[in-house]
Amino acid sequence: MLSHQTPPRSMIARITAILGTFRTGNAHSVTELSRLTGLPISTTHRVAHELASWNLLYRRPDSTFEIGSALRGLGEGIHSFSGLPQEGAHLLADLSEATGRRARLAILMNRRVFYMEKRPNVDPVTTFSLAATLPAYATAVGKVLLAFTPPRSVAHIVRPMVAFTPHTIDSMERLYRELHVIRSQGFAISSEEHFAGESTVGLPVFGPDGSVAAAAEVELGRADGDLELCRAALMVGTGALSRALAAAQIDRNQRHSRAVDLRIVESTRVVGK
- Angle formed at CA 80 by CA 195 and CA 89, multiple of 5 degrees: 55
Q: H or E element: which one contains 78?
A: none
The per-residue pLDDT for 271 is: 45
- Domain-by-domain residue ranges, the chain? 11-72, 75-250
The rounded distance, in Å, linking the Cα atoms of 243 and 167 is: 35
Amino acid at position 142, single letter: G
Strand-pair partners of 189: 201
* Residue numbers in the chain where pLDDT is lower than 70: 1-8, 24-25, 69-83, 249-273
Predicted TM-score (pTM) of this structure: 0.66
Q: At what angle do helices 151-158 and 172-185 cross, to 10 degrees?
A: 130
The rounded distance, in Å, linking the Cα atoms of 147 and 188 is: 9
Report whether 22 contacts 80 (CB < 8 A). no
DSSP 57: E
75-250 is a CATH 3.50.50.60 domain? no
The rounded distance, in Å, linking the Cα atoms of 83 and 171 is: 36
The per-residue pLDDT for 145 is: 96
- Angle formed at CA 64 by CA 175 and CA 12, multiple of 5 degrees: 140
pLDDT in tens, 232-263: 999 999 999 999 888 876 656 665 455 544 55
The per-residue pLDDT for 19 is: 87
CATH of 11-72, one of 3.40.50.970, 1.10.10.10, 3.20.20.70, 3.40.800.10: 1.10.10.10
The per-residue pLDDT for 7 is: 62
